[in-house]
Amino acid sequence: MHSSGTLRIHELTAEERAVYATLKPERLPEHVAIIMDGNGRWAGRRSLKRFLGHQQGAKSVQLVTETASRIGLPWLTLYAFSLENKLRRPRAEVNFLMRLLKSYLETNVQRMMDNNVRMRYIGRTFELPPEVQDKMRWAEETTAGNTGTTLTLALNYGARSEMVDAFRALAAEMQRKHLNPDHIDEEDIRRHLYTAHMPDPDLLIRTSGEMRISNFLLWQIAYAEIFVTERLWPDFRGVHLLEAIANFQCRERRYGGLGESCGAVEEDPERIKIAAG
Ligand code: FPP
């Protein structure tokens, strides 16, 4: 367990506790990232306006964050608003999402304090409306001293533009220090990403069934386990986060190696030759 926060298992619901009891505490992920998808479909299925789906989605954000903080998950990163969302959605919807984010921060900072949650952001947040940026800064500063879960919202975020920003910063540094480009290594790129201060996600969850990465944390998810659920984001709760973690714990992570169980099932090269011949 890598958490710097304290466990508050007694605050889990009975349903959550039942799933938590099946987990191996020593194999909890350090960082879970979520592509929150399906707000529109959730509303559509109820003949409601899309806005109401986003509103319900914001509720899920708070509830899932609270469960994460109770189990001492150190890092939770949520894809809240992509660069593509900003460019490709109707202006009224983008404006609504901005207002929703602002009111979310206003009303939830106290709950974040109660849950020892620290707010951070990644993305080109300087392009967001100034009043939203003000509220974001306020929430970040207010929660800066908290030591439990760090909730990072990806806002006006795109992984490719993150890499562009990283390479620009690296190029500027190299020029300043007269460094030779032949010496650039992965660590140089990593430390210029927006996520330089956090570990890579161990587990990436996507709701509402789509098998896509959608330009989210492309560098960082190199070895992440991916869990896709049909459940729509507004229906996603803490118990579903725990179920995804249970599924994650059944996976064998190899990081390009052979893994532990490979030895026992190793193919006999002679047998393969015979079978092929
Ligand atoms: C996808 O639903 C989700 C988003 C566009 C962004 C996520 C936003 C929220 C969860 C609400 C606000 C968040 C915060 C932090 C206050 P979609 O509209 O793409 O759904 P669809 O694919 O079913 O149309």
Q: Which residues, in sequence order, are bridge partners of residue 97? A: none
Average pLDDT for the chain:
92
Kindly indicate the confidence band of residue 260, based on its pLDDT and cuts at 50, 70 and 90.
Answer: low
pLDDT band at 272 (very low <50, low <70, confident <90, very high): very low
Determine the pLDDT at residue 253: 74
Residue 263 domain-assigned (yes or no): no
Is the distance from the beta carbon of residue 37 to the nearest atom of ligand 1 less than 6 Å? Answer: yes
Residue 145 placed within a domain: yes
Q: What local confidence, expressed as pLDDT, does residue 5 receive?
A: 60
How do residues 87-113 score in pLDDT, each as one tens digit? 899 999 999 999 999 999 999 999 999
Least confident of 4-8, 34-38, 215-219, 257-261: 257-261
Report the candidate in 3, 37, 21 with the shortest Cα–Cα distance to residue 205: 37
Q: Is residue 190 part of a domain?
A: no
**What is the pLDDT, as a whole number, of residue 211?**
97
Residue 147 within any structural domain of the chain: yes
CB of 116 within 6 A of ligand 1: the answer is no
CATH number for position 65: 3.40.1180.10
Asked about 200 being catalytic, the answer comes back as no
pLDDT at res. 57: 98
Kindly state whether residue 163 falls inside one of the protein's structural domains: no
- Percent helix, strand, coil in the chain, to 5, is 50, 10, 35
Query: What does DSSP assign to residue 105?
Result: H
Q: Structural domain of residue 80, as residue ranges?
A: 29-158+201-249
| Residue 276 pLDDT exceeds 50 | no
**39 ligand 1 Cβ < 6 A:** yes
Q: Tokens 């806005």 map to which residue?
A: 51
Residue 1 lies in a domain: no
The pLDDT, as a whole number, for residue 273 is: 45
**CA gap 92, 185 in Å, rounded:** 43
Task: State what percent of residues in the chain have pLDDT above 70.
Answer: 91
- 189 pLDDT more than 90: yes
Q: Is residue 106 part of a domain?
A: yes
Instruction: Pick the residue whose CA is nearest to atom 18 on ligand 1.
Output: 40
**Poorest-confidence range of 111-125, 174-188, 214-228, 256-270?**
256-270
Q: Does 121 sit in the ligand 1 pocket, CB within 6 Å?
A: no
pTM reported for the whole predicted model:
0.91
Supply 268's token pair.
Answer: 């006999």
Ligand 1 pocket: which of 36, 39, 49, 97 to mutate (most atoms <8 Å of CB)?
Answer: 39
Respond yes or no: is residue 202 known to be catalytic.
no
Which of 42-56, 76-90, 115-129, 191-205 is the least confident region? 76-90
Percent of the chain predicted with pLDDT > 90: 86
Residue 64 pLDDT exceeds 70: yes
Q: Is 100 in the pocket of ligand 1 (CB under 6 A)?
A: yes
pLDDT tens digits along 137-183: 999 999 999 999 999 999 999 999 999 999 999 999 999 999 999 99
Mutation probe of ligand 1 site: the residue of 52, 54, 120 with most atoms within 8 A of C-beta: 54
Please indicate whether residue 108, judged by its CB atom, sits closer than 6 Å to ligand 1. no
Average confidence (pLDDT) over 200-207:
98
Query: Cα(141) to centroid of ligand 1, in Å?
Result: 25
Between helix 91-114 and helix 50-70 the angle, nearest 10°, is 20
Number of domains into which the chain is organized:
1
pLDDT at 4: 53
> Which one, of 76, 86, 58, lies nearest residue 118 by Cα?
76
DSSP H or E run through 148: none
Residue-level pLDDT at 266:
39
Q: How confident is the model at residue 257 (pLDDT cuts 50, 70, 90)?
A: confident
**CA distances to 167, 190, 193, 219, 223 from 187, in Å:** 12, 5, 10, 12, 16
Atom of ligand 1 nearest to the CA of 210: 22
Instruction: Calculate how far, in angstroms, residue 40's C-alpha sits from the geometric centre of ligand 1.
Output: 7
Question: 150, 157, 154: which is closest to 78 by C-alpha?
Answer: 154
95: its two tokens: 């404006």
Of 201, 195, 191, the C-alpha closest to 76 is 201
Ligand 1 atom, smallest distance to 57 CA: 10
216 CB under 6 A from ligand 1?
no
- Vertex 117: Cα angle to 113 and 123 (nearest 5): 120
Is 180 part of a structural domain of the chain? no
Of 160, 92, 158, which is closest to residue 127 (Cα–Cα)? 158
**Ligand 1 atom closest to Cα of residue 101:** 16
Lowest mean pLDDT segment, chosen from 1-10, 48-57, 91-100, 113-122: 1-10
